[in-house]
Structure 1
Amino acid sequence: MRLAIVGRTKLLVDTARRLLTDGHTIGLVVTSGDMAASEPFAALAFACGAAFVETAKVNSQQIVETMRDAACELGISLNWRTLIKPATLACFARGVLNGHAGDLPRFRGNACPNWAILAGEPHVGLCVHQMTPELDAGPIYARTHYPLEADTYVTDVQNWIDATMPELFSSALASIARGEEPVPQNPDPSAALRCYPRRPDDSRIDWRTDADTIRRLIRASSRPFDGAFCFLDDRRVTIWRADVVEPTSRYLAAPGQPCEPVEGDPIVACGSGFLRLTDISLNGFSNIDSKAQVNRSARLRLT
């Protein structure tokens, strides 16, 4: 099939390259971003002999005409910032496929893997679906899942998405080539769950909550994101990894209070329960030195 690539991020470039190995061709590459982010897309277009467009206005009349002129059968989209409108979708005889990191129709919208961890879901989904004017509502050509265990971090999920998405698109296009119909989503409105964007400051820790809830926030905010955080004497402490623990001694402590450390790891009291901080950073200090800063006085508090 002759494809148009529409979106952002390295993952879309990797997906396009995977589809090229399947024998598909690329006639158009459309992206939106700063120069550094756009360079891999420009290089992809040059290598394929495809038209290249950098724009934030994918629904403009000019871009619609460019898409029609490219005569691509199918669009492949990831991480476009806005909804792609019907006139743009209609440029492609087979429509536009979108890769979505959510178990549709549950977890439509933004930051779905992060929200799935925060909500204590048993797994996170990955879908390739037909784009429609309604957000993440189109029928599904391919789907898979990744289990969310108690020690699964968003880092693990993102690595899985990066490895799996190109193969899932490959499977979806093979399904289309075989003439298979996509699976409609459950039309019951109660089956859908809309996820809204998260900002870095949404990951600030409230030590008055329980240890399990705080650890889910840490797991959902870890690399490649900005990390869950708090403050120590007005200095930001980013917590990348932590474990819920039961202290070997009995004691009372205020939420956010560093208690007796274990092998150098701070043990911090929560509203209920305790967390062992195993990977943290404070103002550019190493992990070990950051822990030493947190452990230096029993009178300190993480806030």
Structure 2
Amino acid sequence: MRIVFMGTPDFAVPTLSEIVGRGHEVVAVYTRAPAPAGRRGLDLTPSPVHQVAERFGLKVLTPKSLRTPEAAAEFAAHDADVAVVVAYGLILPLAILEAPRLGCLNLHGSLLPRWRGAAPIQRAIMAGDQATGVCVMQMEQGLDTGPVGLVERIPIGPDMTAGDLHDRMMVLGADLMARALAALERGGLAFTAQPEAGVAYAAKIEKAETRIDWSQPAQVVHDRIRGLSPFPGAWFPLGPDETRVKVLRSTLAEGAGPPGDVLDDRLTIACGSGAVRLVELQKAGKQPAGASSFLNGNAVPPGTRLT
């Protein structure tokens, strides 16, 4: 089929690669414009999708908006059978949604209608969900409201981080989209409307959510840590200079005490109820380190209270 691909981050790269590998004709790739990078922000770095598309020799377009008549006319001129959208980053107006003969398919990282919106991977873990999934949805003007064609369910392990789930989901999602396109080409992809019950919105992560609150129950603290790992990262201040320390991995642990107290020499921290053990940390400006390595360079003896 003639396909327009629309995506930006590394999450979208396996899907683009799978589509090309299955022999479809990718007539254009839409992605976000190169972003400033480097210490001074003077270098412009193409998105991961942009870089891969150029290696495949595909036409790449980086419009700042799709809401102009010129953008709609250019999109329609591709004469695409279908558009595939994976974490693109721009809202698609009705003129774009209606241009491909078979519409626009979106790969979304949740079990819709739960976790519509910007941060479904993080929100599922932060909420303590035991399972999530990836689905192929027919796009419409509402926020992730379209009917669903295919779904792949993914269990969430007790210590799984958002990074772990992201990597698992992008591989499964690429295969799921390839299967959806094969069924669509045969005329055998059936869509089911989302139920009205069970809707939840995955709002983008705010900075105020990232500081660890040790007064919360241990399960809540643990879910916050792993749901925000590796980015933006849940953190706490350490030492008199309040150096920011991200916690990248943790696990539930035995122990009790005043919230924030360091209970042993393995970085077990008391919470509002129960305790968590910090497994991997990253001090500001440093590389991630396991707890034992971190303690070699940072004094956090039992009895220390983390604020």
Instruction: State the TM-score, normalizing by the size of structure 1.
Output: 0.89
Q: Does 1:245 align with 2:250?
A: no
Equivalent-residue separation in structure 2 for 1:100 and 1:40 (angstroms):
17
Which of 290, 295, 299 is the equivalent residue of 2:300? 295
Aligned to 2:243: 235
Q: Is the 8 A contact 1:211 1:274 kept in 2?
A: yes
> 1:167, CA displacement in angstroms?
0.6
Which of 59, 64, 67 is the equivalent residue of 2:75? 67
Q: Is the 8 A contact 2:31 2:49 kept in 1?
A: no
Q: What fraction of aligned residue pairs are identical, expressed as a percent? A: 25
Q: Is the 8 A contact 1:42 1:52 kept in 2?
A: no
Correspondences of 1:68-87 after superposition (within 5 Å): 68-87=76-95
Give 5+ residue unaligned stretches, structure 2: 36-43
Correspondences of 1:263-282 after superposition (within 5 Å): 265-282=266-283
Q: Is the 8 A contact 1:45 1:51 kept in 2?
A: yes
The alignment yields a C-alpha RMSD, in angstroms, of 2.1
Aligned to 2:84, the other structure's residue is in SS state strand
Q: Does 1:37 align with 2:37?
A: no
CA distance 1:199–1:291, shift in 2 (3 Å): farther
Q: State the one-letter code of the partner of 1:37.
A: P
Q: Is the 8 A contact 2:7 2:87 kept in 1?
A: yes
Of 94-103 and 115-124, more deviation after overlay is shown by 115-124
Equivalent-residue separation in structure 2 for 1:70 and 1:42 (angstroms):
21
CA distance 1:181–1:302, shift in 2 (3 Å): same
Q: Is the 8 A contact 2:12 2:49 kept in 1?
A: no
CA distance 1:179–1:242, shift in 2 (3 Å): same
Q: Does 1:202 align with 2:206?
A: no
Aligned to 2:38: none
> 1:131, CA displacement in angstroms?
0.6
Which of 130, 138, 142 is the equivalent residue of 1:130? 138
Q: Is the 8 A contact 1:258 1:294 kept in 2?
A: no
> 1:185, CA displacement in angstroms?
2.4
Correspondences of 1:40-55 after superposition (within 5 Å): 40-41=49-50, 44=53, 47-48=56-57, 50-55=58-63
More helix by share: 1
Which of 50, 58, 75 is the equivalent residue of 2:66? 58
> 1:129, CA displacement in angstroms?
0.8
Superposed structure 1 runs of 4+ greater than 4 Å apart: none
Aligned to 1:214, the other structure's residue is in SS state helix
Q: Is the 8 A contact 2:269 2:276 kept in 1?
A: yes
Equivalent-residue separation in structure 2 for 1:140 and 1:37 (angstroms):
31
Give 5+ residue unaligned stretches, structure 1: none
Q: Is the 8 A contact 2:264 2:301 kept in 1?
A: no
Equivalent-residue separation in structure 2 for 1:203 and 1:39 (angstroms):
26
Equivalent-residue separation in structure 1 for 2:49 and 2:246 (angstroms):
31
Aligned to 2:166: 158
> 1:45, CA displacement in angstroms?
5.2
Instruction: State the TM-score, normalizing by the size of structure 2.
Output: 0.88
Equivalent-residue separation in structure 1 for 2:190 and 2:226 (angstroms):
33
Q: Does 1:20 align with 2:25?
A: no
Q: Does 1:112 align with 2:120?
A: yes
Q: Does 1:259 align with 2:263?
A: yes
> 1:243, CA displacement in angstroms?
1.8
Equivalent-residue separation in structure 2 for 1:84 and 1:40 (angstroms):
18
